[in-house]
């Protein structure tokens, strides 16, 4: 297997691994998917990925590293992100309660389809996890170098060293990384929509879980911000 293929594959896996864990972004994607369908869920994921693309450009320009030098700026961004998460948690809770009623007043799918992108995009721009990623791992991923992925494996490191060597700063790594995110934001909403068709009560359950996740992260980030600023 060529170094190019290894690097592209590693980037793909890395992108999926970064996008998959539970968190505020996946909470919004899940909520939009079960309430408004696959397109809305995909658009929400696309909003989060667009924010990553912006952070990628800013990291290339050195702006992301510059923000790291000003803790107060970071604290304000964390506080704004936490506030948005609490606001969206309230919205998810309202939609969960409305979805239990036949005449709920919830907007039709056609009119809500564009809201997911805006919600995820704005939230991602102030999401401390995404900011922290691009301040640390993201910047390192852009710097030219080589990483022997398996060399640090406990007990087996020496015997399998050199099998998977990834070129950091490579266009293939970046392309694979964003490709992995696309795989997730395509497949995750599709899986949720498929599950919703089999379980009638799935939509309010997901909306409720989304509200809890967003509220928990919102409280955490507002508290962190207050601890720095006060």
pLDDT digits (tens, 9 = 90+) for 20-46: 877 888 888 988 888 888 999 999 999
pLDDT at residue 199 in the model: 60
Task: Return the ∠ at Cα 50 (arms to 193 and 204), rounded to 5°.
Answer: 30
The fraction of the chain above a pLDDT of 70, given in percent, is: 78
Range of the domain at 147: 3-229
- Quickly state the pLDDT bin for 205 (edges 50, 70, 90): confident
| Mean local confidence (pLDDT), 184-207 | 78
Number of compact structural domains in the chain:
1
Q: Provide the 8-state DSSP code for 145.
A: E
If 0-12 CB within 10 Å is exposed, 13-18 middle and 19+ buried, where does residue 81 land?
Answer: buried
If 0-12 CB within 10 Å is exposed, 13-18 middle and 19+ buried, where does residue 45 land?
Answer: buried
| Mean local confidence (pLDDT), 41-57 | 93
Of 95 and 190, the structure prediction assigns the larger pLDDT to 190
pLDDT digits (tens, 9 = 90+) for 106-138: 444 444 445 789 889 988 888 877 877 787 677
In the numeric block, the tokens 């899986």 are attached to 191
Q: Which residues contact 219 (CB under 8 A, 6 or more apart)?
A: 82, 86
pLDDT at residue 157 in the model: 61
């Amino acid at each position: 297997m060529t170094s190019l293929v290894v690097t592209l594959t590693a980037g793909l896996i890395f992108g999926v691994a970064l996008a998959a864990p539970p968190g505020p972004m996946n909470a919004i994607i899940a909520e939009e998917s079960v309430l408004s369908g696959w397109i809305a869920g995909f658009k929400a994921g696309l909003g989060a990925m667009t924010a990553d693309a912006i952070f990628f450009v800013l990291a290339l320009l050195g702006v992301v590293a510059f923000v790291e030098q000003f803790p107060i700026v970071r604290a304000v961004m964390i506080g704004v992100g936490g506030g948005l998460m609490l606001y969206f948690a309230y919205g998810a809770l309202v939609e969960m309660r409305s979805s239990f009623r036949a005449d709920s007043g919830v907007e039709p799918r056609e009119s809500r389809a564009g809201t997911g992108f805006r919600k995820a995009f704005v939230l991602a721009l102030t999401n401390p996890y995404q900011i922290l990623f691009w301040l640390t791992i993201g910047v390192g991923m852009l710097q030219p170098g080589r990483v022997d992925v398996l060399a640090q494996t406990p007990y087996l490191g020496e015997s399998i060293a050199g099998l998977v060597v990834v070129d950091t700063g490579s266009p293939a790594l970046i392309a694979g990384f964003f490709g992995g995110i696309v795989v997730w934001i395509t497949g995750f909403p599709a899986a949720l929509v498929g599950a919703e068709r089999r379980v009638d009560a799935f939509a309010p359950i997901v909306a409720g879980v989304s509200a809890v996740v967003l509220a928990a992260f919102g409280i955490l980030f507002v508290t962190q911000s207050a601890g720095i600023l006060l």
